[in-house]
Structures are given as C-alpha cells and as structure tokens.
Amino acid sequence: MEPFTTHQGLVATMDRSNVDTDQIIPKQFLKRIERTGFGQFLFYDWRFNDDETPNAEFELNQPQFEGATILVAGRNFGSGSSREHAVWALADYGFRAVLAPSFADIFYNNCFKNGVLPVKLPEETIQEIFSKVAENPGYQLTVDLENNVVTDSGGLSVAFEVEPARRERLLQGLDDIAATLTHADKITAFEAQRGLTPVQ
C-alpha cells in the first residue's frame, strides 16, 4: 500500500449528501476478483447516460476536474452497503483523499485499509471549499497527514483528527497484513514456545 504523508492535488467537488456505496461502485461491477480496474466504473450510473456516453452534467465529467486527486463531498459519504470495492474504485480512479463533514463508519475504516485518507472537516469548511472551487478553476489543496492539517495557497488552514494508530499505519503504508507482519518475530517466538508448526 502506498504511504500517505503529504499530498497536494486538484480538488473535485460533489455537493451531495448521503452518497452511498452503490453509487460509488454499482453492484453489477462487483464480480471482479482483483482490487484493480474499478476506477473506470466509479460513479458509473451518474457518470454515463443510458447509451454509455458521458453525462455532461455530472461533476467528475467537468473539464476542470480532470485529473483531480482530492474529492470534497457532503455529509455521510460512503453510506449503504459495506463493500470495500467502493474505496478500491476511488483509489483506482486516482483519489488519494476524500474530505467531508462525516463518513459512514465502515467506509471510513475501509479507506485506511486501502491507502485513501478520509478527512472529517467542519460543515462550514466544506462549504468554504465548495465556494473556492467554484470561483477558482484548478483549485488545489494540500492534505498533510504528518501535521494533520489541510491548507491552500489562499490562507486556508484547518486541522483535522485521525486516530493515532490509523495515522501511523497510513504514514507507513501498512495494510492489515503488513501491519501484522511487523510482529513476525514475536509471532514466530510464540509459535515456537508452544510447539506450533506454521501452516504451509
């Protein structure tokens, strides 16, 4: 998993609340067994018309958001089913961070397991960012996990909180398996002490 320390990137906005995982990655695309390749299906039912042409009205199809790596959205982002594929799709599309006033709990947890940083910011700050993006094409933010702060070049500076263990694992790029393997010596010693033989 790619570590997340500090990321500066173009911001795309989605001024919608309760964006659920079935919209982030519709159920018909969940048959894939690998974690890659889901980005092309991100927000598929919103991004494309019935004839599979791009929906010009959808946020991410706006030219100014091409190449965005930071998504700013409304409250309760990632609600609905627990599918981890939603985070896979966001990451595969290119998003490194999602900023919102609140997140669904399971989605929030899944982000940390897959190298995407979910940042909870006050409602008024999210609204301020929406306004700045509308007024400034090409607007960028810097999301600094080392110092727990989001900044822009125009004076915005807002702190955010991340549970310390999650923060440390994301800074180091450790998913659940990699984090467990940092204790490999202790695991081996425990098995040896009890005469256990690792399963091959």
Determine which helix (DSSP H) or strand (DSSP E) holds 105, and give its type and residue range.
helix 105-113
Decide: 70 and 11 in contact? Cβ < 8 Å: yes
CATH of domain 6-193: 3.20.19.10
pLDDT tens digits, one per residue of 7-54: 999 999 999 999 999 999 999 998 877 888 999 999 999 999 999 999
Other C-beta atoms closer than 10 Å to the C-beta of 136 total 14
| pLDDT reported for residue 171 | 96
- The set of residues, in sequence order, having a beta carbon less than 8 Å from that of 73 and lying 6+ positions away, is 13, 14, 15, 16, 19, 98, 99, 100, 126
Say whether pLDDT at 167 is over 60: yes
- Say what the pLDDT of residue 88 is: 96
Locate the domains of the chain by residue range.
Answer: 6-193
